[in-house]
């Protein structure tokens, strides 16, 4: 008997898991991969920055997984809305959620919801052509922008704001974003880190790239990149070459002559936003920061402690880039504090009984939280695949009624997208791109995508 597995979410985790399950030769199984959007690849399509095209090459490996025997793709089908979890559980031996982290973490400070204060998650989805964010607008008439957080997403946002129209025009950035950013009046971008350079979450190649922008001068405040004694001691003790290089890059920025570029990108450290201030129209006008010092917590971690030194910087727009967050899935337990589905090695755990839920699994960002690069999801998927295969050996081989997804979705008025359909859509995007010397010109509505199949 062949087991039937449903995977929900066609980001890297969904593909890594499908691949792992289909490649093992011991247990006969098939995989149906459901995705709420017509296009697969999750954040590789709708998160990775458009000026980082090389990263998207990983989709070739996902395409190879999709060609394996036993694999089917059901795009444009949302689980929990178009098909319910209970329906999947009736027809599939196991269901694994690889739904990622679909929303943003909040700062919890006054003024967070003023006009022109946005989560970075929305800006990223907008410039990448995510169909649900196409109609969003951002105050690109702003002269000065603050980006809160110093993770790689904050760096992406700052870099995209600083890119020249010519640089952006070579990428697959959504056309609406290309138009808006071409007319952007942004002159100053501030990246705001609450701890020091050693603790910054961004990685060395990403921060080095900020020093190579054609249209922006990068700046730091010299005293903020000079390491305090605790950070210096940690860096020495840990002998962490990557962090050492990162600090060197930042210190080199301090000594750089400015070129009078059109834009300035200033990276600040040891400052926390305490309030976003608005004008009479309820629009962002300034950000209030408190200067921090680093202290060692009981757990040994260096954390930010506010001093009584405050400053107020006039800004016209704020991006809050302090991390993503998973959203609850109807019918599944949810850890609201951590923003993920509680689990042990991928087996979903019922929070009330603290026992594992039969037949339901998680992998990727919804399993461990929104951290790690694309490749981090591969060993994570391998761990979930291992427990799924182990559990299959305990399932009675009676077989379940097969779910006729094609008929069911049709009855429900949904145009499900097969992988072959997706490949046709992608070919049209690439053909448009080829004409314009761009990798692709993305469709940014579901309707446009479906029309190419009509
Ligand atoms: C802005 C940004 C840029 C990044 N850039 C890089 C980079 O340059 N290099 C790098 O290595 N890593 C990068 N990362 C990290 C990388 O993208 C993640 O590690 C990875 O995408 C997480 O994979 P995932 O499959 O768990 O989640 P996701 O990629 O988010 O995939 C989840 C999928 O599930 C689908 N889904 C959600 N709910 C449902 C539902 N109910 N029914 C059906 N489908 C559903 C979603 O539409 C989505 O396609 C970046 C992350 C972000 C946020
Ligand atoms: N090019 C790439 O490879 C790439 C690109 C984008 C994303 N990614 C990956 O995707 C993952 C998610 O990235 P991310 O940038 O969203 O998250 P992240 O790496 O977790 O960074 C979040 C940032 O927000 C800060 N922060 C959190 N709460 C804050 C608060 N209340 N006030 C001020 N600052 C606060 C954090 O500071 P503290 O450290 O002090 O908490 C940190 O600087 C990461 O693993 C990242 O590497 C990779």
* Sign of the Cα pseudo-torsion (320, 323, 324, 327, in order): negative
pLDDT at 398: 66
Enclosing H/E stretch for 358? strand 355-362
Q: Which residues contact 416 (CB under 8 A, 6 or more apart)?
A: 74, 75, 76, 77, 405, 406, 409, 410
pLDDT at 402: 87
Residue 375 CA, closest ligand 1 atom number:
11
Please give the distance, rounded to the nearest whole angstrom, from the Cα atom of residue 105 to the centre of ligand 2. Answer: 10
CA dihedral (73, 77, 80, 86) in degrees, to 10, reads -50
CB atoms closer than 10 angstroms to residue 166: 10
Residues of the chain with confidence (pLDDT) below 70: 397-398
| CA dist., res. 82 & res. 328, Å (int) | 16
Residue 206 CA, closest ligand 2 atom number:
1
Residue 14 CA, closest ligand 1 atom number:
25
Summarize pLDDT for 278-312 with one digit per residue, the tens. Answer: 999 999 999 999 999 999 999 999 999 999 999 99
Please give the distance, rounded to the nearest whole angstrom, from the Cα atom of residue 150 to the centre of ligand 1. Answer: 19
Residue from 159, 304, 323, 370 whose mutation best tests the ligand 2 pocket (most atoms within 8 A of CB):
323
Ligand 1 contact via 42 beta carbon (within 6 Å): yes
Ligand nearest to the CA of 375: 1
Ligand 2 contact via 290 beta carbon (within 6 Å): no
pLDDT at 351: 85
Residue from 10, 47, 126 whose mutation best tests the ligand 1 pocket (most atoms within 8 A of CB):
47
Q: Are 38 and 425 in contact (CB under 8 A)?
A: yes
Summarize pLDDT for 152-165 with one digit per residue, the tens. Answer: 999 999 999 999 99
| CA dist., res. 133 & res. 45, Å (int) | 14
Q: Which domains does the chain have, with CATH numbers?
A: 3-102+326-417 (3.40.50.720), 103-324 (3.50.50.60)
| CA dist., res. 150 & res. 194, Å (int) | 8
Please give the distance, rounded to the nearest whole angstrom, from the Cα atom of residue 112 to the centre of ligand 2. Answer: 18
pLDDT at 379: 98
Residue 109 CA, closest ligand 2 atom number:
31
């Amino acid at each position: 008997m062949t087991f039937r597995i449903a995977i929900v979410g066609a980001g890297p985790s969904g593909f890594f898991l499908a691949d792992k399950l289909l490649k093992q030769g011991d247990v006969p199984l098939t995989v149906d991969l459901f995705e709420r959007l017509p296009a697969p690849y999750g954040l590789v399509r709708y998160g990775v920055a458009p000026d980082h095209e090389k990263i998207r090459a990983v989709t070739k490996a996902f395409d190879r997984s999709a060609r394996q025997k036993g694999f089917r793709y059901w795009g444009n089908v949302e689980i929990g809305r178009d098909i319910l979890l209970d329906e999947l559980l009736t027809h599939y031996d196991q269901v694994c959620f690889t739904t990622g982290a679909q929303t943003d973490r909040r700062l919890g400070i006054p003024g967070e919801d003023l006009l022109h204060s946005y989560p970075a998650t929305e800006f990223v989805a907008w410039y990448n052509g995510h169909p649900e964010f196409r109609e969003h607008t951002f105050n690109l008439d702003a002269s000065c922008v603050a980006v809160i957080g110093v993770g790689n997403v904050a760096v992406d946002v700052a870099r995209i704001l600083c890119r020249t129209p010519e640089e952006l025009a070579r990428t697959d950035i959504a056309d609406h974003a290309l138009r808006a950013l071409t007319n952007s009046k942004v002159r100053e971008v501030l990246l705001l880190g609450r701890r020091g350079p050693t603790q910054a979450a961004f990685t060395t190649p990403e921060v080095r790239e900020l020093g190579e922008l054609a249209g922006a001068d990068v700046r730091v405040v010299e005293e903020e990149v000079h390491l305090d004694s605790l950070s210096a001691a940690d860096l020495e003790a840990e002998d962490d070459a990557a962090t050492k290089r990162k600090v060197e890059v930042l210190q080199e920025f301090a000594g750089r002559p400015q070129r009078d570029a059109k834009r300035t990108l200033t990276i600040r450290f040891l400052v926390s936003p305490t309030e976003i201030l608005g004008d009479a129209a309820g629009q962002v006008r300034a950000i209030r920061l408190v200067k921090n010092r680093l202290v060692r917590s009981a757990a040994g971690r260096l954390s930010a402690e506010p001093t009584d030194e405050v400053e107020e910087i006039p800004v016209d727009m704020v991006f809050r880039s302090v991390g993503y967050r998973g959203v609850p899935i109807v019918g599944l337990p949810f850890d609201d504090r951590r923003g993920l589905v509680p689990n042990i090695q991928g087996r979903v755990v019922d929070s009330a009984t603290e026992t594992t839920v039969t037949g339901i699994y998680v992998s990727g960002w919804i399993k461990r939280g929104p951290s790690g690069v694309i490749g981090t999801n591969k060993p994570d998927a391998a761990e979930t695949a291992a427990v799924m295969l182990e559990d299959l050996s305990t399932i009675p081989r009676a077989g379940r009624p097969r779910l006729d997804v094609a008929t069911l979705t049709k009855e429900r008025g949904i145009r499900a997208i097969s992988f072959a359909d997706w490949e046709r859509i992608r070919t049209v995007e690439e053909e448009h791109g080829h004409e314009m010397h761009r990798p692709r010109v993305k469709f940014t509505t579901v309707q446009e995508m479906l029309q190419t199949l009509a």
